[in-house]
Chain A
Amino acid sequence: MNAGRPSATRLHWWWVGGAAFALFAAVVAGVMVGPISIAPIDVIGSMASRLPFIDVDTGLTERSEAILWEIRMPRVVLAVLVGSMLSAAGASYQGVFRNPLADPYLLGAGAGAGLGATIAIAYGSSTVGWIIDPLPLAAFVGALGGVALAYVLGYTVRSGRTSVTLILAGVAVAAFLTALQTFLQQRESDTLREVYGWILGSLNTAGWDEVLLVTPYVLVCLVAVLVGRRLLDVLSVGDTEAGTLGIRPGRIRLIFVIFATLGTAAVVAVSGLIGFVGIIVPHTVRLATSASYRVVVPLSILLGGAFLVVADIIARVAVTPAEIPIGVVTAIIGAPFFAVVLRTSKGVVS
């Protein structure tokens, strides 16, 4: 705050720089660290060799190169994409529903994806040999279907299409789809472990294929949310007043939900249901910087990616060479981290 003319809350360059640096450091750490130790100098050498006209003889075996480029690198990139998308989606949902507890799975995206995945796992063995792997497709369709169902249900309520009715519809839909999923799991109980593992979230079968699958959705949705973030601030004064300020709250809400859900569905299809990220990251940004969505959205994107990369490092390294499911890691490190931030903050929670 300067003593001169007041101005709108701005995205200070030092905030962006700090967040970008955190992301960069996380990515570097993610590539350097893993169950198999590869000397950092060799990592750099191998990356340099990918540039034209440079060829460094790192002495890495073909297998180590494969580990670096086919396993670790896509995994880190995927963590960045998933983390930023979930955080941006979480911020969008929080803004659009004016609810600090909103997360990307609020309207039933998570439950729908879980049901889709369960169906694919239970009946999918007969589809071996399909061109498209049915599991991510089923999860993707399930996530979108869940949210669509919540919207349809919410719109049938005569008293209005408010954000509250939509949230309640989402809760009802999520409960219903989860019940279906549980029923299915009981009937096909030999799939229990596989479904449970998927639900806990994992990046451990990631390759460049998964990255390419997810990237277009994530890029489009991140850009959409980023570009429209000012409207989330307008929505924060409530539907009635926002309407008198010249926007159409229901339509804006729908558009944000569409993009947030599309991106969430895409990353969930590939990485399972990773929780906590969508709530924790935007909140932490809010507490540390400003409640304005002009700031919260871009910083959530950067820090969300960094957070998930760090969580993935822990997942890979803590009980190496075995793995912890990443959903467990995000919960374990997320909760106390959030408590600390809450205690040391200015106490402002939107």
Chain B
Amino acid sequence: MFRGFIPLVVAVSLIAAACGSDSSGDSSPPATLATTSSSSPTTSLTPEETTTTTETVDDGFPVSIDAPNGEVIIESRPESVVSLSPTSTEVLFALGAGDQVVAVDSMSNFPGNAPVTDLSAFTPSVEAIASYEPDLVFLSFDPGDIVAGLEAIGIPVIFHGTAFTVDDAYSQWEQVGAATGHIAESAALVAETTADIESAFASLSEGSEAFTYYYELDPTFYSVTSVTFIGQLLAPSGMTNIADGSDPEGFGYPQLTAEYIIDSDPSLVFLADTKCCGASAETVADRPGWDTLTAVMGGSVVELDDDIASRWGPRIADLVEDVVVSILELELVNA
């Protein structure tokens, strides 16, 4: 009798401890208890445990985000999110927060069921945004201190500007998840994207390291070097970016000359100006002198989707896959 009492007390204590701490997913559950999903309220076993703390039971809110524009506190799960950043829109919907979004800007064209409005990503107006009564706003561009304006009227704003590294992009996704109550989904998305990218690159052989590429931003030969987001994204392929030799200051977006591009004779040409400026494999072949390029003659001019190429959302995996596919095709041709 006395010997059975202690294990019981221990068990009850453990149960009490497990019920008393709220679930944010981090506390390690006692071995004997199965953790329920984080969205269901904990049931109390003893009367003492019903006096819960001030922490709510609602997905970890309130939450504090360490955003680039400062600390942003979100009291409760936002239900009328406004996104003025095409990338943020893509991330929101990829995380399953689409039904929390009430308005997106005019250029947020993916996914197709996003609620597109006239709001402008480049010249937003505080009043126009406020008219949607948002409880969270995402911006990637801040002209005229829009961020400050929204904060002044008490609207939580997260400023996610252009990502400089791939890890920047991932941490932005995680912040989106935390801000909208989709932390697990964001972690999963990051993991999935990382895995997709890694496996894509893994399918390349060492031969791809001999390849060079030219990445075109617009028909006047603006390009990106390896220090940019795109450059870093594609770096694991082992290919050399021909623009690197032209940008000693590391500015990142040099304007090349036709001469230089032709002389460099890149193995692959990527066009990120197909939608904005009508570039295509045909128009490229029509350019004076370009028909002597190996890439043009061999059909290694790759037309990318401007939107995918200019955003840093989950579709970067698609970009990487497109690139890898074209490298593989080239390897086949050369083999």
A and B directly contacting (CB within 8 A): yes
Point out residues on A near B: beta carbons under 8 Å.
34-36, 62-67, 69-72, 74, 125, 128-129, 186-187, 189-190, 193-194, 197, 202, 204-209, 316, 320-323
* CB closest chain-A residue, reference B310: A190
* Residues on B with beta carbons closer than 8 Å to the beta carbon of A323: 255-257
Given contacts A36-B263, A70-B288, A189-B122, contact A63 B293 (CB under 8 A): yes
Q: Is the CB of A204 within 8 A of B288?
A: no
Given contacts A66-B289, A186-B123, A207-B288, 4 further A-B contacts (CB under 8 A): A36-B259, A71-B262, A204-B221, A320-B246
Distance, CA A128 to CA B283, complexed state (A) = 10
* Residues on A with beta carbons closer than 8 Å to the beta carbon of B90: none
Distance, CA A310 to CA B263, complexed state (A) = 23
B239-263 interface bits toward A, Cβ cutoff 8 Å, 1 = contact, 0 = none: 0000001110000001111111011
Given contacts A62-B292, A204-B221, contact A35 B259 (CB under 8 A): yes
* CB closest chain-A residue, reference B263: A36
Smallest beta-carbon distance A214→chain B, Å? 15
Contact of B258 among A129, A204, A208 (CB under 8 A): A204
* Residues on B with beta carbons closer than 8 Å to the beta carbon of A316: 257, 259
Q: Is the CB of A322 within 8 A of B256?
A: yes
Q: Is the CB of A67 within 8 A of B247?
A: no
* Residues on B with beta carbons closer than 8 Å to the beta carbon of A63: 262-263, 265, 289, 292-293
Distance, CA A120 to CA B288, complexed state (A) = 22
Interface residues in B216-273 by Cβ distance below 8 A to A read 218-222, 245-247, 254-260, 262-263, 265
| 24 A-B residue pairs with CB within 8 Å | A36-B259, A62-B292, A63-B293, A64-B263, A67-B258, A67-B263, A71-B259, A71-B288, A71-B289, A74-B288, A125-B276, A189-B120, A190-B107, A190-B276, A204-B258, A205-B220, A205-B221, A208-B288, A320-B246, A320-B260, A321-B246, A322-B255, A322-B257, A323-B255
Smallest beta-carbon distance A123→chain B, Å? 12
Distance, CA A190 to CA B276, complexed state (A) = 9
Given contacts A63-B263, A194-B218, A321-B246, contact A189 B288 (CB under 8 A): no
* Residues on A with beta carbons closer than 8 Å to the beta carbon of B123: 186-187, 189
Given contacts A194-B218, A202-B220, A321-B260, contact A66 B292 (CB under 8 A): yes
B271-304 interface bits toward A, Cβ cutoff 8 Å, 1 = contact, 0 = none: 0000111100000000111111100000000000
Q: Is the CB of B263 within 8 A of A205?
A: no
Point out residues on B near A: beta carbons under 8 Å.
107, 120, 122-123, 218-222, 245-247, 254-260, 262-263, 265, 275-278, 287-293
Distance, CA A335 to CA B310, complexed state (A) = 39
* Residues on A with beta carbons closer than 8 Å to the beta carbon of B288: 66, 70-71, 74, 206-209
* CB closest chain-B residue, reference A316: B257
Distance, CA A205 to CA B275, complexed state (A) = 19
Q: Is the CB of B287 within 8 A of A207?
A: yes
* Residues on A with beta carbons closer than 8 Å to the beta carbon of B222: 193
Smallest beta-carbon distance A145→chain B, Å? 25
Given contacts A202-B220, A204-B257, contact A66 B262 (CB under 8 A): yes
* Residues on A with beta carbons closer than 8 Å to the beta carbon of B259: 34-36, 67, 71-72, 316, 321
Given contacts A204-B220, A321-B245, contact A190 B257 (CB under 8 A): no
* Residues on B with beta carbons closer than 8 Å to the beta carbon of A67: 258-259, 262-263, 289
Smallest beta-carbon distance A226→chain B, Å? 30
Distance, CA A202 to CA B218, complexed state (A) = 14
* Residues on A with beta carbons closer than 8 Å to the beta carbon of B255: 197, 204, 322-323
Contact of A71 among B247, B258, B265 (CB under 8 A): B258
Distance, CA A209 to CA B289, complexed state (A) = 12
* CB closest chain-B residue, reference A192: B122
* CB closest chain-A residue, reference B141: A189
Smallest beta-carbon distance A319→chain B, Å? 8
9 tightest A-B CB contacts, nearest first: A207-B288, A70-B289, A128-B278, A321-B260, A66-B289, A70-B288, A189-B122, A36-B263, A322-B254
Given contacts A67-B289, A74-B288, contact A205 B256 (CB under 8 A): no
* Residues on B with beta carbons closer than 8 Å to the beta carbon of A204: 220-221, 255, 257-258
* Residues on B with beta carbons closer than 8 Å to the beta carbon of A34: 257, 259
Distance, CA A205 to CA B216, complexed state (A) = 14
Contact of A197 among B220, B258, B263, B276 (CB under 8 A): B220
Distance, CA A194 to CA B255, complexed state (A) = 12
* Residues on B with beta carbons closer than 8 Å to the beta carbon of A193: 218, 222
Q: Is the CB of B260 within 8 A of A125?
A: no
Q: Is the CB of B122 within 8 A of A190?
A: yes
* Residues on A with beta carbons closer than 8 Å to the beta carbon of B278: 125, 128-129
Distance, CA A206 to CA B259, complexed state (A) = 11
* CB closest chain-A residue, reference B122: A189
Smallest beta-carbon distance B302→chain A, Å? 18
Distance, CA A228 to CA B221, complexed state (A) = 42
Q: Is the CB of B219 within 8 A of A35?
A: no
Q: Is the CB of B287 within 8 A of A321?
A: no
Distance, CA A206 to CA B289, complexed state (A) = 11
Distance, CA A66 to CA B296, complexed state (A) = 14
* Residues on B with beta carbons closer than 8 Å to the beta carbon of A64: 263
* Residues on A with beta carbons closer than 8 Å to the beta carbon of B260: 35-36, 320-321
* CB closest chain-A residue, reference B247: A322
Q: Is the CB of A321 within 8 A of B262?
A: no
Smallest beta-carbon distance B48→chain A, Å? 60
Distance, CA A182 to CA B290, complexed state (A) = 35
Distance, CA A71 to CA B258, complexed state (A) = 7
Q: Is the CB of A35 within 8 A of B122?
A: no
* Residues on A with beta carbons closer than 8 Å to the beta carbon of B287: 205, 207
